[in-house]
A and B are shown apart, each in its own frame.
Chain A
Amino acid sequence: TQLLEQSPQFLSIQEGENLTVYCNSSSVFSSLQWYRQEPGEGPVLLVTVVTGGEVKKLKRLTFQFGDARKDSSLHITAAQPGDTGLYLCAGASGSNYKLTFGKGTLLTVNP
């Protein structure tokens, strides 16, 4: 069974601070996706990383895929209240219909 462990589970910070959240597994994934889910809404895809060691930037968000394609991190610079939400990582395997989701990191950015 493939498992994705996300840490920390909860994170509360002040506006302007930097933060990093992690997504770790003992399994290799062909790609890994990050989603953000706001209360009462469905998850929204932020980025997909495919190549080991890949780094992608989305404005103040930086995503990295581990060299071995088993882990990933999301770094947010100068967090804003609009970044508040549940950040989910999901791994895909080449021939599997399933996306394996982590439990998520619930981020709260206080003004």
Chain B
Amino acid sequence: ETGVTQTPRHLVMGMTNKKSLKCEQHLGHNAMYWYKQSAKKPLELMFVYNFKEQTENNSVPSRFSPECPNSSHLFLHLHTLQPEDSALYLCASSRRAVNTEAFFGQGTRLTVV
């Protein structure tokens, strides 16, 4: 399998649940990202990891917790989310973290009920 793979593709969770999104890249890239895509808004960068180290936390609420155990895997742990957190969550990777092209996964469509 090649490219960037995200699981699950769809997720419905209650506000008291805890769930995790998974992302895996097979491109040999060193940087990985989480983006949030909501209707009528630009893609919002949430987190950046460069060589497994978090280099950006774009003022994201603590109910979103990222984890990057190695350069190929990225997780987003979710707990006590709000309905307004419902969105498409996109993982991306790039060769390096600065000024480079991003390769996106298919996204996880999250619905918080």
Contacts A40-B106, A40-B109, A42-B90 supplied; 12 other A-B pairs, CB < 8 Å: A30-B99, A31-B99, A33-B101, A41-B107, A43-B104, A90-B43, A96-B99, A97-B48, A98-B56, A101-B42, A102-B42, A104-B42
Partner of B106, one of A41, A88, A92: A41
B78 within 8 A of A: no
Kindly state the interface size class of chain B when it binds its partner. 20 to 34
List of A residues within 8 angstroms of B105 by Cβ: 42
Separation of A99 and B101 alpha carbons in the complex (Å): 9
A45 within 8 A of B: yes
List of A residues within 8 angstroms of B102 by Cβ: 33, 43, 45, 90, 99
* CB atoms of A42 and B4 under 8 A apart: yes
Separation of A97 and B97 alpha carbons in the complex (Å): 6
Encode contact with B along A98-110: 1 for CB under 8 Å, 0 otherwise. Answer: 1111111000000
How many A-B pairs have beta carbons closer than 8 Å: the answer is 60
* CB atoms of B107 and A103 under 8 A apart: no
* CB atoms of A42 and B98 under 8 A apart: no
**Min C-beta distance of B47 to chain A, whole Å:** 10
With both beta carbons as reference points, the residue of chain B lying nearest to A9 in the complex is identified as: B40
B16 within 8 A of A: no
22 A-B residue pairs with Cβ-Cβ distance under 8 Å, sorted by A, are A41-B106, A42-B90, A42-B92, A42-B104, A42-B106, A42-B107, A43-B43, A43-B102, A44-B104, A45-B102, A48-B101, A88-B43, A90-B102, A92-B99, A94-B99, A96-B99, A97-B55, A97-B56, A98-B58, A101-B43, A103-B42, A104-B42
List of A residues within 8 angstroms of B106 by Cβ: 40-42
* CB atoms of A99 and B104 under 8 A apart: no
* CB atoms of A45 and B103 under 8 A apart: yes
List of A residues within 8 angstroms of B100 by Cβ: 92
**Min C-beta distance of B82 to chain A, whole Å:** 23
Interface centre among B50, B99, B109 (most CB of A within 10 A): B99
